[in-house]
Structure 1
């Protein structure tokens, strides 16, 4: 029996079983949300959190700010193998989508909390700041453009004890990036025992097969210490939800051979050798504790790019829109004949006619139709390596002062690759295997913290200091990816087609130092009334300093009901990468080589066109809500209002006129001699985001076992208040405001009978907007291809068994009924996407899975 047949038979069995179980569960009770905690940790809303306070940890219902706490079992009991996809269904205000063709964003997907960019959310591990990734998301579909967030997919879910999501601004406590909120990943602390597990699953369509093996072991370190090691290996096949492009079909109809079908792949990229290792260690003495934790991970990812049509692709096949074939002389000594690709009516001339003229070309004439008769589709990918380590020592001083001294090192390095593409200017002399290495991005961060804390009778006092260094590097590409070949002057494009290599002018290293002082005071005015304040002053060596504050209050009206609220200011410092990145694309324009460049705003050429050094994005946050804790059930409601000023965007491109070039050259800017256009990052627009979070949880003994009902709901709205015309377009404004669903939530039920349990979850996604292929217009009447997608429901189902021996087995399905977005009405006409590709619930349909493991 073949592997594919076996997997298909498994799919039928699992899907049939799951549908039967879902119908039974649906007939028994209404749908609700999975409980927020295991029976060992009681209810999610009562699990202890370290976020939002520097004093003693509190449960979420005791907190003065809204916090979601997701325990280990809830993280793992679903089909997602990526922590991003896990959080997407468990935190309604958290959004992430499949990224099929978006340059480096395909490798590290941008995620959005409360409708804000990825780098507006601070990520912590065991309460310590996590280093950001090396990817600057140039293609972020409006919302995430230019962001540089953290890669949180490097953590195996087995290593996590719980994830805490602080849904409130916290820059005054934690520093830059904490505008939308804070996510803390708490690692397991095991001194003995462990776990082994294997996982497999695939999509209903029969693709995207994922396999994963993970293991964990805990061991003692002396009499009062522990060590926990977790390792995971994963691979996932690519998916495809494509239809044949109309232009590719037309080429086939004209007789062009070897046209791929489909010519372009829209789907999840292939993930190879995704290896993650995480360690967490601690040793406790009489008055001191030594701790350390860290990770080492690497993975390779490869996905599709846009199809290069054999009759129209500029700089490769044609430079006049497909009227004539691009033919050049590598030696430059031959005048090559013109070969028509279309007749006078605009129809493709049959390939046989074109091919006969190509065969008759002089020996010194070359066209890519000789190498790729049906066009080609580049493959883009990269190898990512991530290392992070934190070590520290903490203890007590003078009996009642607590102190904590720690150091952190983090590095994220991505080496990009392009396969099945060309450097057109090199003509027939392409690298072996059509493999290009366009270069690398690397982010390194170092940080030291010292914190002290003392609890008095009525108040808690915390003080701290931080030193931090960030460094961003761009590594040059190989010769083939950057070369200016002999066919350049005849109109052939330069660099690896689709993603040109970083040249010597682009490569470099930039760093920044900063220091911060901060304080936190919590005062119990009465036993029912808590007031808290925090202030942080942070100084950066490249743009001076910023001071931020936060005021928080909570009033317990009685033992069940409490009011809470917060006011704060916040900031996000532009990263060294955003402030210094250069990206240069070279083309043959008006008879000579010209560069179109994204330059640092501090560059003299950028300054000539009005650029100024980047400054922090600044925010004002307000939230208020209430908590009801009735013992067996809890309910929280929180409203938030976030104003962000001076958000960072890339400017429009400025054309360098002859007069401008002369003035720049006279000022000593020799680089301007080769430039045609220039753009830069700039602090430009302001937004207001507001929303409402509702969370409810109810425990019962229904149906002869422990049954938990819960619901979570988020309403989010963003408006662009102010912007500079020409810097961002009307289309981008619409994407900023509407590309994420305005409402999102889930409602599920979990029933537990000891050995056996079952979970049913109903997910809801409100309507959303997509500007298909970034047409940069907002209506079909203007020639654009936008998509307005209505609301949608999906269903997740999982059931499992766990025996006293420690053995367990689980089967499940995400998107049980195979819900996909409506068909893309322009898919074939434009680029072959069967569905809108940025759907908040994905476009690959249902996924079934099974896992088997042993706890020891």
Structure 2
């Protein structure tokens, strides 16, 4: 028993010092290491640190499932976006391309187990990662209103591995861990490094991307390390578009200056995308270590928007659906005798009343004079993300805490999104309108302080129990900064029916600007009890108190039973919560969206706004969840198999409401409250706790390694079945949103990978299966249909002319599997092609088609 005690305590100390406070599992889900490490890899026992802050143990005795994606696998993907890397390796992880989705174009939200992006807790080196400032107002149903972290800023070259805990863990880590936890572990080598150059292009000949990246490990005195990484890339936009039906008709009628295509469906242009990450560790004494890590990232993004038809766009060209032209009187006293009943017909430019009464009348104005072919705004933004964490961990050597291991740390994270609109107008300013605007800025600032301790105790069990505890304090601030004056100015033509603000995204007014802050603190206890040699249980309890909505207490119970050397059972039972973000509780915005095929302005209001309250809004409360998992582990030599079932019930889910049509009474109340431009608003929405869901599924992971074909082979199989049912909702959520929540993501996802190593060559082939999903285009419910299942194939081959140099060529979607096409015959008039797209935007593998790349790597 004494030997076991000393061995376990040393292992616990090792676990704490190497992983801080996170407890996650190493599976064999990664591709094989490079050929220099292949032999070592075959003989390494896979070790897990799971749930509690206890000792590492073999993977077969872990009570909860986690995937590890090793650094080598992260580098063997053509697309360098971390979201795409994870989508190709974790079957329950989904992300869409999100064309024409406002801020969701800038920071793409992702889904783990069919839940929104802010239901997955993201950690960096075991510490909570701050969320992005972007709120996905157009989040494709599932992510409507989600505000999760920006995972895309993390470069793969900086990572030692990614750990994906596939289990609810709010009792250990707090808010957001309903779907699971993702921990990004930075490299910690004190020597060596890598430099790589990568270039790729889609088969269609667009979307060119070039990336350079590097990593270097340096000694930090004789007792530490400083590991530094950078990534810089540019990516051109793509277009999977055809000319809109209305643009074709306008061109045929002789309307000039119409681009072909008038509206672009594709991924945005990304410029000057740079990320710098640093990870530092220093041994202070034999018992204590200092650590710090952080990042600075910045990028510019520019994407498409909806085309503004020069006959029908409300507030700019016509206010009665395109029957008569909207004409402004520039005299200031309405003495210009400007016509108000000019019929538009096929081409208003040919109408004599327009020619004589507007075009040749300096007192009268219509936007057809300066923008006869309409216009298509471009939406973009500058995204800045930075963080810094520092702490000390080790073992107390004296005092009443002698023998306890500790970890004390502080973190600050900041994300800012400055928005830009190009090629649009503030119609109320008439001919004096600028064409480019900065509508404003969102900022998210988070501060976190943690203190954690752990120790083993002899309670007469099979071996010593592990006891851990800790406290946490957090502060979250969401800031809205007003846009430039032209973006929200109420111009002289406002009273004549012209819309206010930059068209497509009116700027944030000073009255909307402000700083909103919330604080909370938490305390937890975590115990692991080995009752017998074969039976282990874990217990976790967490209390958390917020200064806004109050407190919540959550628990988790885990168990593992070993039947024999090859087979074991595991499971967990837990409660969880997700606190509403400060941004969700306070933000207001105006966005442009399609309603019954017409572009309209929709206002997002805080849920406590009088209009929101009148329509059913209430102060936001946290989501609450109950989940359980059970599974089995089989391991025989080099073959490893796990199968886990999970069930997650979430009550009072937070999301953006259905866009509710404003009545005349609603508009009167808004006018009395002093809201300008009310007549131009067609709809309102707000954040709400309106619906409940049950999500269930099965994860299967299998791995097998062997000597084959005069080399070393690794075979990996991962499969996920996931299904979400909305069990309770009201009209505030609406039937179509329920349909999107239940059907937009495929119920079945799978990957099968074969990785092969030889002396001078390596390569892999991955087959990806995507089950049926609901195809949706422009959030227009008449276009929804069930899309067919599809298979894509990725492959890469690397040649090593020397031990230091690797030359790779590869492709994603190598056979150019097409996304589900929109239903149309001649691309001129079928309803769901009216907006110029070729494919349903909800395709789980994207709509850009095949992508090939070349890469050169130098290691030293």
After TM superposition, the score normalised by the length of structure 1 is: 0.90
What pairs with 1:210-609 in structure 2 (closer than 5 Å)?
A: 210-284=209-283, 285-332=285-332, 333=334, 334-338=336-340, 340=342, 342-343=344-345, 347-348=346-347, 351=350, 356-357=355-356, 360-398=359-397, 400-431=403-434, 434-456=435-457, 457-583=463-589, 597-603=603-609, 606-609=612-615
Q: Secondary structure at the match of 2:843?
A: coil
**Aligned 8 A contact 1:661 1:673 in 2:** no
Distance 2:601 2:713 in 1: 64
Task: Give the drift of 1:352.
Answer: 7.9
Distance 2:153 2:644 in 1: 31
**Could you list the per-position Cα deviations for residues 442-475 of structure 1 after superposition, in whole angstroms to 9, with x for gaps in the alignment?**
1000000000011234211110000000000111
The partner residue of 2:755 within 750, 753, 760 is: 750
Task: Give the drift of 1:853.
Answer: 1.6
Task: Give the drift of 1:323.
Answer: 1.9
Does 2:855 correspond to 1:854? no
Partner of 2:24: none
What pairs with 1:164-203 in structure 2 (closer than 5 Å)?
A: 164-203=163-202
Task: Give the drift of 1:482.
Answer: 0.3
**Aligned 8 A contact 1:255 1:352 in 2:** no
What pairs with 1:819-834 in structure 2 (closer than 5 Å)?
A: 819-826=817-824, 829-834=833-838
The partner residue of 1:763 within 764, 768, 773 is: 768
Distance 1:405 1:740 in 2: 40
Cα distance change on mapping 1:492 and 1:660 into 2, 3 Å: closer
Partner of 1:13: none
Partner of 1:17: none
Q: Secondary structure at the match of 2:709?
A: helix
**Aligned 8 A contact 2:379 2:420 in 1:** yes
Distance 1:161 1:320 in 2: 59
Distance 1:712 1:586 in 2: 40
Partner of 2:31: 35
**Aligned 8 A contact 2:820 2:843 in 1:** no
Greater mean alpha carbon deviation, residues 648-657 or residues 134-143: 648-657
Partner of 2:695: 689
Partner of 2:9: none
Instruction: Please list every run of 5 or more consecutive structure 1 residues that lacks an aligned counterpart in the other structure.
Output: 1-31, 588-593, 778-783
**Could you list the per-position Cα deviations for residues 207-265 of structure 1 after superposition, in whole angstroms to 9, with x for gaps in the alignment?**
00000011111111111100011011100000000011010000110111110001111
Distance 1:400 1:659 in 2: 65
**Aligned 8 A contact 1:638 1:692 in 2:** yes
Task: Number of aligned residue pairs: give it.
Answer: 803
**Aligned 8 A contact 1:121 1:181 in 2:** yes
Greater mean alpha carbon deviation, residues 823-832 or residues 422-431: 823-832
**Aligned 8 A contact 1:34 1:749 in 2:** no
Partner of 1:19: none
Greater mean alpha carbon deviation, residues 465-474 or residues 135-144: 135-144
Task: Give the drift of 1:62.
Answer: 3.3
Cα distance change on mapping 1:59 and 1:98 into 2, 3 Å: farther
After TM superposition, the score normalised by the length of structure 2 is: 0.90
Distance 1:664 1:825 in 2: 43
Aligned-pair Cα RMSD in Å: 2.5
Cα distance change on mapping 1:682 and 1:36 into 2, 3 Å: farther
**Aligned 8 A contact 1:45 1:68 in 2:** no
Task: Give the drift of 1:531.
Answer: 0.3
Cα distance change on mapping 1:60 and 1:484 into 2, 3 Å: farther
**Could you list the per-position Cα deviations for residues 790-825 of structure 1 after superposition, in whole angstroms to 9, with x for gaps in the alignment?**
100001010002354411111100000111123211
Distance 1:538 1:44 in 2: 43
What pairs with 1:94-173 in structure 2 (closer than 5 Å)?
A: 94-173=93-172
**Could you list the per-position Cα deviations for residues 397-448 of structure 1 after superposition, in whole angstroms to 9, with x for gaps in the alignment?**
14631100000000000100000111111111122xx210000111000000
Cα distance change on mapping 1:166 and 1:596 into 2, 3 Å: closer
Does 2:89 correspond to 1:90? yes
**Could you list the per-position Cα deviations for residues 23-68 of structure 1 after superposition, in whole angstroms to 9, with x for gaps in the alignment?**
xxxxxxxxx9973666467379964454533222345443210100
Partner of 2:20: none
Distance 2:353 2:840 in 1: 36
Partner of 2:12: none
Partner of 2:460: none
Does 2:700 correspond to 1:700? no
Distance 2:835 2:360 in 1: 32
Task: Give the drift of 1:117.
Answer: 0.3
**Aligned 8 A contact 1:689 1:719 in 2:** yes
